[in-house]
C-alpha cells in the first residue's frame, strides 16, 4: 500500500522540509513504512511523484500544477533531492507507490493532473478488473481518453472528473463541489462492486485539489475494519529543532499550515490527530478545515473520536467573514448537522488486521483517542 502526503499553507514551504529532511519524511517512508496494513510488503519502491502549484499566479504558466514522477525508488533519486532543495510551494502533493494494480511505469505514478486539478490515492479498489468495463462505460469520451495508465487509482480519478460539470474549467472550484464529486465517486465505485458481487473491502483514501482548496477521504467499504492510516496536523509553523526532527508550532490560534499524511512526519504525539475512518476532510481556500462523516451503509458512529451520528465535525479558523468565528484569532470546533447521505451498498467484510501497528508510538487503538481528547478540550461553540 502506498504512502501519501499533502501540504497547504499561507506561505510557500521548501519541499525538502516535507520530502527529504524529516527523519520520517515521505521519502523515508518509502523504505521504512511503519503503519501499512499490508505488513508483508513494507517497501514503497514502485515509483513516486510530487506535484506543486506556483506561489503566485502567472498567466504564462497557467493554473495547472507541475508534476514530477519517476519509477526509481524515491530514496535513490538525486533529481528529487535537488528539486526539493530549490522549490517552494504553498500547496504540495507527494506520493510513494507500492503497486497493487498496474505496471511499474511513470504513467502509473501518482499524482495525476487534469486542467487545474490534481489527484492521488492510497489504497485499492477491490477486484477492480471485475468493474473496469463498467467504469469505462460510465465516462464521457473526453475523460475516457485522458487515462494513460492502467491503475485502479487513475480510473478512480476519471470517475471523479466525470462527476464535475466542467472539469477543465479555468476558475477554481467551490470546495463543496469537489466534496460532492468525491462522495459520488465513492458511491459509484461501491455500487459497481456490489453489482459485480465483490465481497472484499475497498480502501479509498483519495486526495484532490484545484490549487485553492483540498478534499481528501479516509474510507473503507466496511463497518468494522479500519481504513488505511491518515493523520492531520495544523499550526502556524512547521520547523526543525534539530537535524531530522520537526514539530508543528502553534504560536496562536490561527491555522497557517495544514498537513495530512499517511504517517506522521514528526515524533511529537501532540502534533497529530487521527482522521476517523470513513470521513471526508475539506481544506478551504482560507485554511478552514472541515471534517464530515461519510454517511452510507458503512458509516459506524460508535468508534471513539467519531462525530455524533448525523453530524459533521467542523474545525474552523475564523477570519471575520461571517463563518461562525468571533474574531480573526478565534478557533472553533463545532458540530454541524448534515442530513445528506450517499447511495448505499450492503457491507460484506473480509479478514484484515483490526488495527495498525504504529512504531511512532501512535498505535491505531491509542491514536483513535486523540481526536476525542482534542475535541473534549475545546468547548463547542454555538454558531450564529
Residue 218, domain CATH: 3.60.20.10
Rounded Cα distance between 210 and 224, Å, is 33
pLDDT, tens digit (0-9, with 9 covering 90-100), for 340-356: 444 444 444 444 434 43
Q: Nearest CA to 276 among 338, 378, 364, 362?
A: 364
Instruction: Tell me the per-residue pLDDT of 150-161, one tens digit each, with 9 for 90 and over.
Output: 889 999 999 999
Q: Give the pLDDT score at 23.
A: 75
Please identify, among 248, 272, 295, the residue that sits at the C-terminal boundary of a domain: 295
Cα–Cα nearest to 13, from 235, 267, 206: 235
Domain count, the chain: 2
* Distance from C-alpha of 182 to C-alpha of 14, rounded to nearest angstrom: 29
List of residues 6+ apart from 129 with CB closer than 8 A = none
Q: Are residues 232 and 343 in the same domain?
A: no
* 223 & 327 share domain: no
Contacts of 254 (CB under 8 A, 6+ apart): 236, 317, 328, 329, 331
* Final residue belonging to a domain, choices 243, 261, 295: 295
Within this chain, do residues 254 and 306 fall inside the same structural domain, yes or no? no
Q: What is the pLDDT of residue 84?
A: 87
DSSP code per residue over 60-102: TT-SSPEEEEESS-GGG-HHHHHHHHH-EEEEEEEEE---SSS
**Shared-domain flag, residues 342 and 211:** no
Residues marked as catalytic: 2
Same domain, 129 and 170: yes
Residues 274 and 312 in one domain: no
pLDDT at residue number 198: 95
Please check whether residues 346 and 210 belong to one and the same domain. Answer: no
Give the pLDDT of residue 74.
60
If asked whether residues 132 and 188 sit together in one domain, one would say yes
Which cell goes with 328? 480573526
Distance of CA 376 to the CA centre of its chain: 25
Coil, helix or strand at residue 42 = coil
Strands (E), 126-252: 203-209, 214-218, 231-235, 237-242, 245-249
pLDDT value of position 300 = 83
Q: Give me the residue label for grid cell 511512532.
A: 360
368 and 302 in contact (C-beta within 8 Å)?
no
CA 52 – CA 80 distance, rounded (Å): 13
CB neighbour list of residue 242: distance below 8 Å, 6 or more residues apart: none
Q: What is the spatial distance between Cα 215 and Cα 194, in angstroms, rounded to a whole number?
A: 25
- Long-range contacts at 54-60 (CB < 8 A, ≥ 24 apart): 54/89, 55/12, 55/88, 55/89, 55/90
Residues 246 and 380 in one domain: no
CA dist 291 to 275, 281, 294, Å? 8, 5, 10
**Which DSSP helix (H) or strand (E) runs through 367?**
helix 364-367
| Domain interval for residue 9 | 3-295
Phi and psi at 126, nearest 5°, equal -60, 135
Same domain, 231 and 324: no
In this prediction, the residues of the chain whose per-residue pLDDT falls under 70 are 1, 24-46, 73-76, 97-106, 302-384
Q: Tell me how far apart the alpha carbons of residues 224 and 81 are, in angstroms, rounded to a whole number.
A: 40
Same domain, 120 and 104: yes
Strand partners, 246: 240
Among candidate residues 376, 145, 174, 127, the one with its CA nearest the CA of residue 290:
174
Region label for 310, one of left (φ > 0), alpha (ψ between -120 and 50) or beta (otherwise) = left
What's the pTM? 0.76
Final residue in a domain of this structure, among 295, 322, 348: 295
pLDDT at residue 87, as a whole number:
93
- Shared-domain flag, residues 186 and 310: no
Q: What pLDDT sits at residue 131? A: 97
Q: Are 368 and 304 in contact (CB under 8 A)?
A: yes
Amino acid at each position: 500500500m502506498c504512502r501519501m502526503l499533502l501540504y497547504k499553507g499561507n506561505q510557500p514551504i521548501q519541499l525538502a522540509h516535507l520530502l527529504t529532511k524529516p527523519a520520517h519524511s515521505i521519502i523515508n517512508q518509502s523504505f521504512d513504512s511503519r503503519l501499512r496494513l499490508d505488513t508483508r510488503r513494507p517497501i514503497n519502491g514502485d515509483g513516486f511523484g510530487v506535484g506543486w502549484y506556483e506561489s503566485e499566479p502567472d498567466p504564462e504558466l497557467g493554473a495547472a500544477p507541475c508534476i514530477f514522477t519517476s519509477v526509481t525508488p524515491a530514496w535513490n533519486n538525486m533529481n528529487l533531492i535537488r528539486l526539493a532543495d530549490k522549490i517552494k510551494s504553498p500547496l504540495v502533493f507527494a506520493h510513494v507507490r507500492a503497486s497493487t494494480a498496474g505496471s511499474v511505469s511513470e504513467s502509473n505514478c501518482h499524482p495525476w493532473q487534469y486542467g487545474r486539478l490534481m489527484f492521488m490515492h492510497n489504497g485499492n479498489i477491490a477486484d477492480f478488473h471485475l468493474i473496469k468495463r463498467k467504469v469505462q462505460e460510465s465516462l464521457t469520451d473526453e475523460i475516457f481518453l485522458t487515462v494513460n495508465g492502467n491503475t485502479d487509482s487513475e480510473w478512480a480519478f476519471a470517475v471523479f472528473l466525470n462527476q464535475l460539470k466542467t472539469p477543465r474549467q479555468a476558475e477554481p472550484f467551490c470546495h463543496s463541489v469537489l466534496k460532492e464529486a468525491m462522495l459520488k465517486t465513492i458511491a459509484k465505485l461501491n455500487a459497481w462492486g456490489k453489482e459485480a458481487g465483490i465481497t472484499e473491502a475497498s480502501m479509498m483514501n483519495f486526495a484532490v485539489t484545484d490549487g485553492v482548496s483540498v478534499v481528501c477521504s479516509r474510507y473503507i467499504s466496511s463497518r468494522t475494519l479500519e481504513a488505511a492510516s491518515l493523520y492531520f496536523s495544523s499550526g502556524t509553523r512547521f520547523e526543525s529543532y534539530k537535524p531530522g526532527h520537526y514539530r508543528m508550532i502553534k504560536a496562536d490560534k490561527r491555522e497557517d499550515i495544514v498537513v495530512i499524511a499517511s504517517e506522521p512526519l514528526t515524533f511529537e504525539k501532540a502534533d497529530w490527530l487521527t482522521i476517523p475512518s470513513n470521513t471526508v476532510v475539506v481544506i478551504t481556500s482560507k485554511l478552514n478545515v472541515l471534517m464530515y462523516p461519510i454517511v452510507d451503509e458503512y458509516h459506524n458512529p460508535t468508534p471513539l473520536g467519531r462525530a455524533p451520528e448525523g453530524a459533521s465535525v467542523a474545525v474552523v479558523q475564523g477570519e471575520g467573514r461571517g463563518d461562525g468565528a468571533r474574531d480573526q484569532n478565534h478557533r472553533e470546533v463545532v458540530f454541524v448537522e448534515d442530513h445528506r447521505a450517499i447511495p448505499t451498498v450492503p457491507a460484506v467484510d473480509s479478514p484484515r488486521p483490526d488495527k495498525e501497528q504504529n512504531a511512532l508510538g501512535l498505535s491505531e487503538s491509542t491514536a483513535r483517542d486523540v481526536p476525542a481528547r482534542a475535541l473534549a478540550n475545546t468547548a463547542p461553540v454555538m454558531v450564529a
